[in-house]
Amino acid sequence: MTATRALIVGGGPAGAAVAIELARAGLPHLLIERSRETGDALCGGFLSWRTLDTLARLGIDPDQLNPARTTTVRIFAGSRVAHAALPRPALSVSRRRLDTVLLAAAVAQGAAVERGVTVRAIEDGQVRTADGAVIAAPALFLANGKSDVRGTARPASARGADPTLGIRVRIMPPPAMARALAGQIDLYLFDRGYAGLAMQEDGSANLCMAVHRSRLQEAETPADLLAELGRAMPVLGEWVAAIAPDATIDAIANVPYGWRQTTGQAGQYRLGDQAGVIPSLAGEGMGIALASGLAAARAYRTDGAGGAAEWQQQLARTLARPIGVAGAVRRVAESRGVARLIPFAHPVLIRMLAQATRIGA
């Protein structure tokens, strides 16, 4: 058995944020991450203005991620479109880039990071890894995001009766299309789902969808669904036509949108998607991951492992509004009649909703 004072499970945005802050404070810790190499996690890649504030507090310069800014949102439904300026500039970045920069920043601060180690179970106060090792840690930071670990899994009921899938395809657009999308994020609303589209720092456009299983089953395959949506929304259709024939379409199942951890447990700080899952239409999941990582590390610095229970309940209260508002917006956005509501999507209303779904540092 090995021991560490504080164990961080997962090196995504939440885990990296805790590691940066604990290393800065000189507090002993170990971060374990299952992947040996940083991949390009399935994500829309939109970092809101509030998330950029949190990144600044972690010492990350947004220009390292992408020097270009996103200032406008366009919302399409059927043949209708609404647009609005974002409250403040945001940016789009690939997860490969973001996760690489964050973990590198943690290591530069002196964080202890071990890669290629997968946690299999957290039971009876012990952490078991896939290679059979046992790690004892009085303080646990659960930052394993989309994946669950035995003993701390989010309830199956959180997925809902008609679970949601995430689907992502990268498009290398011709220069004229890339220029037309520069500075904007496009949201395409449709029955039981939405797609987001934005240019990223590597010159690719990220087309990322959240769609209910029943809707995907009707279309049969992700490629069929994209083709169908492209026919219904011609602006999207141009992008669907630009998808390379051999492009990979990535998917993840059972995203528990709307779920929040409302109870606390001494010694266990749950962060990011392990604390609450905001509908991705809001583009604030990474903001929650980073802000919760930063806040948990600060709570641990002052209150130690024993402060986790109270801190978790406080985080649940903080997340109630953004997750609740995003859930209500999502229900409207993925309803059949949403195109009829687009004329009422005044820029002031869009900006108000965009503000109400944010979390601060």
Binding residues vs ligand FAD (CB under 6 A)? 9-15, 32-35, 41, 43-46, 118-119, 143-147, 149, 166, 208, 210, 255, 272-273, 280, 283-287, 289
Minimal distance, residue 86 CB to ligand FAD, in Å: 13
* Residue 212 C-beta: closest distance to ligand FAD, Å: 12
Smaller CB separation from ligand FAD, 35 or 72: 35
HSE-up of residue 336 (Cα within 13 Å, Cβ side): 1
Q: Smallest distance from the beta carbon of 304 to ligand FAD, in angstroms? A: 23
| Choice between 11 and 230, CB closer to ligand FAD | 11
Nearer to ligand FAD, 197 or 345 (CB): 197
Specify the residue for token string 């309803």: 335
In the complex with ligand FAD, the residue whose CB is nearer, 32 or 297, is 32
Q: How far is the CB of 252 from ligand FAD (least distance, A)?
A: 6
Say which residues have a Cβ less than 8 Å from residue 150's Cβ, sequence separation at least 6.
120, 121, 122, 123
Q: Which is nearer to ligand FAD, 82 or 275 (CB)?
A: 275
For the CB of residue 173, give the shortest distance to ligand FAD in the complex, in Å.
Answer: 18
User: Which of 42, 344 has the CB closer to ligand FAD?
Assistant: 42
3-state secondary structure the chain: CEECCEEEECCCHHHHHHHHHHHHCCCCCEEEECCCCCCCCCCCCEECHHHHHHHHHCCCCHHHHCCCCEEEEEEEECCEEEEEEEEEEEEECCHHHHHHHHHHHHHHCCCCEEECCCEEEEECCEEEECCCCEEECCEEEECCCCCCCECCCCCHHHHCCCCEEEEEEEECCCHHHHHHHCCEEEEEEECCEEEEEEECCCCCEEEEEEEEHHHHHHHCCHHHHHHHHHHHCHHHHHHHHCCCCCCCEEEECCCCCCCECCCCECCEEECHHHCECCCHHHCCHHHHHHHHHHHHHHHHHHHCHHHHHHHHHHHHHHHHHHHHHHHHHHHHHCCCCHHHHHHHCCHHHHHHHHHHCCCCC
Q: Which is nearer to ligand FAD, 182 or 306 (CB)?
A: 182
Please tell me the number of Cα atoms within 13 Å of 100 on its side-chain side.
11
Whichever of 283 and 307 has its CB closer to ligand FAD, that residue is 283
Q: How far is the CB of 290 from ligand FAD (least distance, A)?
A: 8
Least Cβ distance, residue 15 to ligand FAD (angstroms): 6
Nearest approach in angstroms of CB 147 to ligand FAD is 4
